[in-house]
Amino acid sequence: FATPECVYFEVFKDPENPGTLSWVENWNASVEWFMKTHLAKEYYKPYLEATMPMMIKEREFKISKRMGPELVASKPESLLE
């Protein structure tokens, strides 16, 4: 990961809606830091400009708070799909 604060990133596709992607990120940073620092990085502007014509609806964002490491589980083979 290029940004040290990003500790998890995974992309998902919606099998019922082709072309619909979503992703989950986990950050070791506050929401305030993410909004003020990370989203202000220079590479976001060309990314947003390049991907805007691909959008069929407005982007959606949802911020959730992790419950804690005791509620995290993953099997290495589950990442192979």
Domain boundaries, the chain: 6-79
b/e burial code for range 10-47 (CB count within 10 A of at least 16 → b): eeeeeeeeeeeeeeeeebebeeeebeeeeeeeeeeeee
Q: Is the pLDDT of residue 32 over 70?
A: yes
Give the pLDDT band (50/70/90) at residue 15. very high
Q: What confidence category does residue 81 fall into, taking pLDDT thresholds of 50, 70 and 90?
A: low
